[in-house]
Amino acid sequence: MEVWEIDAREQVRDLVASYNALGDRGRFDDLLALFAPDATMDVGDGRTYVGVDEIRTIFTETRDSVRGGDHAGDATDGTGDEPPGPEYLQHHASTHVITVDGPESATGQAYFTVMTDAGVDHWGRYQDAYRVVDGRWRFASRRVRVDGTTPGGWADRRLSGDGEQTRTTGPERLLAEADIRQLVARYAVATDRRDLDAIVALFVPDVRVGRGSSGEPVVGRDALRENLAGQLAAIGVTILNVGTHQIDLAGPDDATGHVYCKAEVQDGDRWIHQAIRYDDRYRRVDGEWLFVRRIHRLFYGAEVGTNPVGLPPADWPNNHDGWGTIPADDETWQAFRAEHGGTPGGSP
């Protein structure tokens, strides 16, 4: 490990520790200085907070439900029926795994436990992206996921105080898993049909596509469409067969998943079989499950024994072998080829 990477890891560890210490003391101006100006934060309430001004509201609303200290707020609803908030909060982070992508970017995950004057209150995970701003490591994004709460505790009351369920019940879990499986299936069908509009609509509006030439984040569905167009124009026919799908619900609106896929891909005059695993993150936005991120990981890719490129027309059902009529019959495929060109495919 080089010296610059050791320094980067130490700065990131200090960044995460400072976040907890400053937040617990109510020093929000100093805490917000730990974020890049265009940083995002997601605390699992169905909203993405963009920029330090919006992120500030997360902490001020938390402050108003804590009764101790100089920044205390009224934790009751005015009727006297609600128990008061805690005297203090103490955030303890542990098991901090850092992946350094380069001298100015990294990602990380850490567990956290929150203590109050009543004991352990809640616990969960931080999922972070970091980058260098003006020579210092800062949060580029932070996702906070609560994995559990002490029944009747401060966080338990806050998460359920508006009547909204924060734990996924049996029927809700089944519905969520069914919707996520349909999301994955739609991705496969839309990809094989080269329906770019349908593909990008399956992702959250602020999907992160990568970084620009100057290191700035490239986000949004338009950027994703352009990226996919370039990738798909370089190959011919694809056939994505989705198989094993593991789904882990982190709450009513967040989930992760691993999807196995057997793919057939026309690569010029070659016909390739691939074994793929997709590592996914999903989020429910306005009642609809969408991709937040999809990472393509390859087990292997190999040429098939009998190459279907160049086969005569099958004229199915008269013949069981030969070249078929899809995807060439799909209007979206025809429109994609007309606009983007690429490897000929879809006809013998």
Q: Which domains, ranges and CATH numbers included, belong to the chain?
A: 3-160 (3.10.450.50), 171-340 (3.10.450.50)
Taking the C-alpha atoms of residue 296 and residue 232, their distance in angstroms, rounded to an integer, is 14
Interacting residues of 195 by C-beta distance below 8 A, sequence separation 6+ = 330, 332, 336
Query: Which pLDDT does position 319 carry in this prediction?
Result: 65
Q: Which residues pair with 183 in a beta bridge?
A: none
Q: Which residues pair with 256 in a beta bridge?
A: 248, 281
Which DSSP string corresponds to 20-81? HHHHHTT-HHHHHTTEEEEEEEE-SSS--EEHHHHHHHHHHHHHTT--SSTT----S-SSS-
Please tell me whether residue 213 adopts helix, strand or coil conformation: coil
Q: Which residues pair with 343 in a beta bridge?
A: none
User: Maximum CA pair distance of the chain?
Assistant: 83
* Whether 153 contacts 118, CB under 8 Å: yes
Pairing of the two strands 49-50 and 208-211: unpaired
End-to-end CA distance of the chain: 53
Taking the C-alpha atoms of residue 183 and residue 245, their distance in angstroms, rounded to an integer, is 12
Residue whose C-alpha is closest to residue 26's, from 71, 58, 75: 71
pTM of the model: 0.51
Taking the C-alpha atoms of residue 244 and residue 257, their distance in angstroms, rounded to an integer, is 10
From the first residue on, what is the mean pLDDT of each consecutive set of 10 residues in the chain (348 residues)?
91 96 92 95 83 90 61 39 74 94 92 93 94 94 90 82 49 89 97 97 94 85 95 94 91 89 92 91 94 91 82 75 81 90 58
Query: Which pLDDT does position 76 carry in this prediction?
Result: 38
Condensed to tens digits (0 to 9), the pLDDT of residues 129-172 reads 999 999 999 999 999 988 888 988 888 887 765 434 445 556 78
19-49 burial, b if ≥16 CB within 10 A, otherwise e? bbebbbebebeebbebbbeebbbbbbebebb
Query: Which pLDDT does position 2 carry in this prediction?
Result: 87
DSSP H helical segments within 213-330, as ranges?
A: 221-233
153: which DSSP letter?
S
Taking the C-alpha atoms of residue 181 and residue 257, their distance in angstroms, rounded to an integer, is 10
